[in-house]
Chain A
Amino acid sequence: MSKIEFQRVTKRFQGGGEALKDVSVVFPEGTMTFLTGHSGAGKSTFLRLLLRTESPTRGQIFVNDVNIVKLPVRKIPAYRQNLGAVFQDHHLLSERSVYENVALPLKVAGMREQDVARRVRAALSRVGLLEKERLGTRALSTGERQRVGIARAVVNRPKVLLADEPTGNLDPDLSRDIMTLFEQFNQVGTTVIVASHDRELIDAMGFRIVELASGGVICDDDSTNLDKWKDGSV
């Protein structure tokens, strides 16, 4: 179970303005949500707070009823092992192969080599890159790199999948494919939160949309997910 709740969260950066202002929002377990808004609306800050690479200036963030703002530093690695994160700039290791990049979270978790191989190949097969496992990531196209990033994010079967502008540099067809992948992960029970400014694409997906502007929630169209959640289909 992976319910996420932001309670009156404010994030102010030193010397800068407020990236998030008094944001309260709930993501029920097993739902898929799009965070949207213009550049600087606070989408990336929102995800960074969830990843615990940033801490809020005020407010609480609950994951499964545990306030992660108060999570001791030594417990953060174990917390992050249950999250999958996809970034616009991929964060891949350029000197490592596709296989090694995807295997990283499993190695960190201490999995046996045979299990690592099995899981990595399953994840690569899911994103359609199994035949490229031995290639270096430099040899891949932008879309392929993004798919490697997705494979790495899901290989450890995370409870929550976060994606920050995952289709930022991709063409519409490829963007649609990537979103379909997220949808598939959501269908197996993973709570998915995708930050994207591609309104056309996310409207077409038909999932809940939380719109941010100047650090605040200006629109929360949660009818789709909430309905599904209430009738027990997710």
Chain B
Amino acid sequence: MAASNEPWPRSKRPIAATFRDHVSVIRDSVRFTSRRFGTSLLVWLLIGTAMSLPAGLYLIERNIEVISRQWDSLNSFSVYFKVGASEGDINELVQQIRSHSDVVTVTTVTPEEALNEFSSYKVIMDAMTLLESNPLPASARVAVDDQLSLKRLSDVALQFGELGVVDEIVVERAWLQRLQAIDEFISRLGWVLGVLFGAGAVLITAASVRLALELRLEEIKVLKLVGATNAFITRPFLYSGAIYGLGGALVAAMVLSAALILLEAPLGALWSSYGQMVNLQGDEPAFYFGLGLVGVILGVIGGLVASNQRLREINID
């Protein structure tokens, strides 16, 4: 009996050969997808759409988180005085607020200063010119201790709300907490949709790779007959999957970039009305690199699913 459990001693495949195979397969896969550009484009659009929604939700969640952090650090409420309240009454109340143990700082804004803040908004300023006098009230932004709970903050604010010259008290933190709850919801929704649409992207890739595989069925049978391993046979389909996934990620990146550009201006206007600067997150290279990587991984998984399933069925008679 032969010492080995194979009829002939196996010659070791050089690593350089595997590297050469990969280079050649990448070249062939690019050629294959570009020769069928119409079909490839459809696949890219489908995968891109599937990736855009969870990736978009991820961006929304990240931006809400950043905005929440900006607001959280303020930990404040605004006091709007009655229009026409005298400066003396306002100063007296401001002193009273300052002397409260939970209050850290009080910044007053006169009606004139408020009007100046609006000067950059042409439409509002045009409306203002129609009025005989400045309708804006004086206000004060009251910053309280960072450790203060929302309930305590509301109690403090209400305390001052009962005083005569105060027209309205606005506690921004209440809606901030609602915003954080929405953020949490969006985050969960993002994960759920990420899994669903990720599976969708895998299935789209798998269907496309399966189609490519059917076109090369004869080649696969011949390759099996001449001794190609499953890894060798599967390789082109994994690269095709990766190309589909990467193309899809590119489409998703373009959709999200366009969305960011469209949303940045109106969001900036909204945020600046709350005295905040908006700097939308998501246009950094790391995000797009991550998106591309996820696309490639989903594509390779799709390629694996399709080729493993089909290769098991292939009979090389």
Point out residues on A near B: beta carbons under 8 Å: 2, 48, 51, 53-54, 63-66, 68, 71, 74-75, 77-83, 85, 91-94, 104-105, 107-113, 152, 156, 159
B8 touches A80 (CB 8 A): no
Asked if B89 is at the interface (CB within 8 A of a chain A CB), the reply is: no
Residues of A within 8 A of B317 (CB): 48, 53-54
Say how far A147's CB is from chain B's closest CB, in angstroms: 17
Which of these, A71, A82, A91, A105, contacts B221 with CB under 8 Å? A91
A91 touches B222 (CB 8 A): yes
B226 touches A105 (CB 8 A): yes
Asked if B227 is at the interface (CB within 8 A of a chain A CB), the reply is: yes
Residues of A within 8 A of B13 (CB): 109-110
The interface stretch among B14-22, B90-98, B242-250, B265-273 is: B14-22
Query: What is the number of residues of chain B that contact chain A, defined by CB distance less than 8 Å?
Result: 32
Residues of A within 8 A of B225 (CB): 51, 53, 80, 85, 91
A65 touches B14 (CB 8 A): no
* CA A79 to CA B8, docked complex, whole Å: 7
Residues of B within 8 A of A65 (CB): 1-2
B6 touches A81 (CB 8 A): no
Say how far B214's CB is from chain A's closest CB, in angstroms: 14
A82 touches B7 (CB 8 A): yes
* CA A83 to CA B219, docked complex, whole Å: 18
A93 touches B222 (CB 8 A): yes
Say how far A99's CB is from chain B's closest CB, in angstroms: 15
Asked if B147 is at the interface (CB within 8 A of a chain A CB), the reply is: no
Interface CB pairs A-B, < 8 A, 9: A64-B2, A74-B229, A77-B227, A77-B229, A82-B227, A104-B222, A105-B226, A159-B7, A159-B8
Say how far A215's CB is from chain B's closest CB, in angstroms: 17
- Chain B residues 1 to 42 lying within 8 A of chain A, measured CB to CB, are 1-2, 4-8, 10-11, 13-14, 16-18, 20-21
Asked if B223 is at the interface (CB within 8 A of a chain A CB), the reply is: yes
A81 touches B226 (CB 8 A): yes
- Beyond A110-B14, A110-B21, whether A78 also contacts B227 by CB under 8 A is yes
A104 touches B226 (CB 8 A): yes
Task: Specify the chain A residue showing the minimal Cβ separation from B2.
Answer: A65
Residues of A within 8 A of B219 (CB): 93
Asked if B72 is at the interface (CB within 8 A of a chain A CB), the reply is: no
Which of these, A78, A83, A93, contacts B10 with CB under 8 Å? A78
* CA A146 to CA B68, docked complex, whole Å: 74
Which of these, A63, A109, A113, contacts B7 with CB under 8 Å? A63
Asked if B191 is at the interface (CB within 8 A of a chain A CB), the reply is: no
Which of these, B4, B17, B221, B226, contacts A66 with CB under 8 Å? B4
What does the 1/0 interface line of B217-257 toward A look like (CB < 8 Å)? 01101111111111010000000000000000000000000
Residues of B within 8 A of A92 (CB): 222
- Beyond A68-B7, A79-B7, A91-B221, whether A108 also contacts B227 by CB under 8 A is yes
B7 touches A64 (CB 8 A): yes
Which of these, A53, A79, A104, A107, contacts B6 with CB under 8 Å? A79
A66 touches B229 (CB 8 A): no
Residues of A within 8 A of B229 (CB): 74, 77
Residues of B within 8 A of A109 (CB): 11, 13, 227
B4 touches A105 (CB 8 A): no
Say how far B7's CB is from chain A's closest CB, in angstroms: 4
A110 touches B18 (CB 8 A): yes
Which of A2, A104, A111, A112 has the most B CB atoms < 10 Å from its CB? A104
Task: Specify the chain A residue showing the minimal Cβ separation from B229.
Answer: A77
Residues of A within 8 A of B2 (CB): 64-66
* CA A112 to CA B19, docked complex, whole Å: 11
Say how far B63's CB is from chain A's closest CB, in angstroms: 50
Say how far A35's CB is from chain B's closest CB, in angstroms: 17
Q: Which 4 A-B pairs have the closest CB atoms?
A: A110-B17, A81-B227, A80-B227, A63-B7
Residues of B within 8 A of A54 (CB): 317
Say how far B6's CB is from chain A's closest CB, in angstroms: 6
Task: Specify the chain B residue showing the minimal Cβ separation from A64.
Answer: B7
